[in-house]
Amino acid sequence: MPATVVTVNRPERTLWVRAYLPEIARGLSITTKQFFKNLFTKKDVVTIQYPDVKREYPARYRGLHRLTWRDDGQVRCVACMCCSTICPANCIHIEAAEHEDPSIEKYPASFVIDELRCIVCGLCVEACPCDAIRMDSGIHAHPYYERDKAFLDKDALLALGTASTAVQGGANKGAAGGHH
């Protein structure tokens, strides 16, 4: 079955319409009306005085990353690389190390997050099986004037962190579970 082509005739545009002058005039009238409404009535003004008054962050705000630690003070991260693997910005870099005792899990010898590359997606938090990395610090990302200051290492991430609220070994501590 052959396709049929339908020709649509468009109305001829005048120079006035082609210059977008009616739309520019309409936009300026909306802006002017809003300006005088806010100037005289102070109705619907939502501006806050930022340095003096700070807006409350929502409960699900993703702030700077932080690392949590176990009851014994060790970092909860077992260097499984799930967070760095899932990160679409490739901003998490981990170097794993082994303990002298082979029964103890690996740990990150180096854990670095490049905050300038981070897109604040939260996938690293969801991918972590150990509840080691969080983004609920409530701290807004700082402006960085030097590139090397944007790298948060393990010590800086632990300084932002707290002890984990996750139960060591899962819900059934005595069962044959792992030590995450």
Tell me how far apart the alpha carbons of residues 85 and 161 are, in angstroms, rounded to a whole number: 22
Q: What is the mean pLDDT of each run of 10 residues along the chain (180 residues)?
A: 84 78 90 88 76 82 89 89 96 93 88 93 94 86 87 92 72 47
pLDDT tens, position by position, 109-142: 999 999 999 999 999 999 999 999 999 887 888 8
CA proximity to 112, closest of 143, 72, 69, 79: 79
CB 134 within 8 A of CB 126: no
Within 13 A of 45's CA, how many CA atoms are on the CB side?
12
Tell me how far apart the alpha carbons of residues 49 and 8 are, in angstroms, rounded to a whole number: 54
Q: Is the pTM of this model over 0.75?
A: no
